Structure 1
Amino acid sequence: MRITDWNGYERVKFELDGKEGFVVFPKLPAEGKPWVWRAEFFDYFDYADMALLKEGYCRAYYKQHDQYGCPDAVEGMLKFQSFVTRTFGLAEKAIIFGFSRGGLYAFNYAATYPEQVSLLYLDAPVLDIRSWPGGKGKGIGANRQWQECLTAYGITEEESLSAGISPLDRVKAVASAGIPILLIAGDADAIVPYAENGAILVSRYTELGGTIETIVKAGVGHHPHSLIMPEPIVEFVRRYGHGK
């Protein structure tokens, strides 16, 4: 382990199964040591993450690039969570932020291990691999990433039609666990179309009686993410982020 300074905060870096991980600690941890776990893009539009760090929430990240939330990545996430809760005394349940493709990791983890998650904040999330990176709907897709994604899941393009592996195929498991979701997205997203991802989640989660709050940004594309004034996100985390 190595202790470094990160923007004036203590960061502890380590390696787990050959992958880099770290935890950033607040000046004074909040009761119970709650923590925000970025599934991908650690400091990417991190207005809410920084506001919560100042309020005493730890921040954490585990580098699993190019795995698209596949089962191997989900198992790696479980190992990471077990390690940081045991080693640093963090809260047993994680607050997971899933930005863009990070939505695949965040949601599939919550669907597989719902008892490990207190809430999800999903921002312009990928929730269907055929939408992105597949580009099989209205989105522009990404061919290289699509091939990586298929390899990560060990399926063919044809098998992706019925594999049932995307978050939108697994909504019931998360709703049944009562995990609250905050969804923020732009309605003009040409990369991860809202109609093929977030909007479907909202409809299905609501039908299943799940708690989901949405902020849809009119005329906004895939970027910019989050909210420059992050109080609605922070308030949602304050309300739901202390699951035991």
Structure 2
Amino acid sequence: MRPAWWGAFANADHELLKQGFYVAFVDMSYTGASEEAMKILDNMYDVCTKKYGLSKKATLEGLSRGGLSSLMWANRSPQKLACVYVDNPVCDVMTISPNFIEEIRREWGLENMQNFKGSPIHNYKKLAKSKVPVLFIAGLLDETVPNATNAKPYVEAFKKAKGSIKYVGKPDGKHHPHGLQNPALIVDFIKSAYGKI
């Protein structure tokens, strides 16, 4: 299930499709993991599993803002997942641009963002405890979603909580391009997760 950026940096999707997987998309590219956004993913899961009969264990694939929604929903519903793949995901809303923070405030219907806890950095323990495997790819030079305040603390906290996470840091990577030039690692990670359920 991919909740944002249809067709962007999709070489892993193309390879998975060739190998018999399905890619389901709902456009949540400009949402911020609010309760309403989580309900969209709940509905997407139900459509995939109940209407189309796809696996009850889904893969979430989240790039950037899509990673924000993916990680938040994964922590809420790990029992519905085979694995999670995120790339340069927003892990701490409060470390992104002021415009982005304001968008999130409006979506969540808050008066202010003081003590905001709606970021993956505050919502990871249930996913970690579930042992659902997570593939986390991050550009170390990401200028949009800074590594030092997003990927690094999230991965460290997830590992400390004894979660199953594979971290791939791209030394010269910026926010774009997402993914890997050779998608084999991503494809193999997802296939391996399905081999274990």
CA distance in structure 2 between the aligned counterparts of 1:116 and 1:243, rounded to whole angstroms: 14
Letter in 2 for 1:146: I
Per-residue deviation at 1:178? 1.2
Asked if 2 retains the 8 angstrom alpha-carbon contact of 1:40 and 1:99, the reply is yes
Asked if 1 retains the 8 angstrom alpha-carbon contact of 2:88 and 2:138, the reply is yes
1:5-51 superposed Cα distances (whole Å, 9 cap, x missing partner): xxxxxxxxxxxxxxxxxxxxxxxxxxxxxxxx112112110111111
CA distance in structure 1 between the aligned counterparts of 2:10 and 2:160, rounded to whole angstroms: 31
* Cross-structure match for 2:120: 167
Asked if 2 retains the 8 angstrom alpha-carbon contact of 1:70 and 1:152, the reply is yes
1:171-215 superposed Cα distances (whole Å, 9 cap, x missing partner): 111101111111111101111011111111111111111111111
Gaps of 5+ in 2: none
- SS for the counterpart of 1:119 is strand
1:94-119 superposed Cα distances (whole Å, 9 cap, x missing partner): 10111001111101111111111211
Letter in 2 for 1:126: V
1:145-166 superposed Cα distances (whole Å, 9 cap, x missing partner): 332211111223442xx23211
**TM-score (norm. length: structure 2):** 0.94
CA distance in structure 2 between the aligned counterparts of 1:65 and 1:223, rounded to whole angstroms: 16
Per-residue deviation at 1:142? 5.0
Decide whether aligned partners of structure 1 residues 65 and 190 sit closer, same or farther in structure 2, where only a CA change above 3 A counts.
closer
1:38-94 superposed Cα distances (whole Å, 9 cap, x missing partner): 121121101111111100000110123422111111011111211221111100121
Aligned partner (choices 44, 60, 66) of residue 96 of structure 1: 60
* Cross-structure match for 2:23: 59
1:49 aligns with 2:13: yes
- SS for the counterpart of 2:159 is helix
Gaps of 5+ in 1: 1-36, 133-140
- SS for the counterpart of 1:195 is helix
Greater per-residue strand proportion: 1
Aligned partner (choices 144, 147, 154) of residue 194 of structure 1: 147
1:228 aligns with 2:181: yes
Asked if 1 retains the 8 angstrom alpha-carbon contact of 2:83 and 2:132, the reply is yes
Decide whether aligned partners of structure 1 residues 142 and 241 sit closer, same or farther in structure 2, where only a CA change above 3 A counts.
farther
Alignment size in residue pairs = 197
Letter in 1 for 2:48: V
Letter in 2 for 1:231: A
**TM-score (norm. length: structure 1):** 0.77
Decide whether aligned partners of structure 1 residues 241 and 42 sit closer, same or farther in structure 2, where only a CA change above 3 A counts.
farther
1:104-144 superposed Cα distances (whole Å, 9 cap, x missing partner): 11011111111112111110111111112xxxxxxxx151x
Decide whether aligned partners of structure 1 residues 64 and 225 sit closer, same or farther in structure 2, where only a CA change above 3 A counts.
closer
1:183 aligns with 2:136: yes
Asked if 2 retains the 8 angstrom alpha-carbon contact of 1:66 and 1:149, the reply is no
| Runs of 4+ more than 3 Å apart | 241-244
Report the structure number with the largest CA radius of gyration: 1
CA distance in structure 2 between the aligned counterparts of 1:69 and 1:201, rounded to whole angstroms: 16
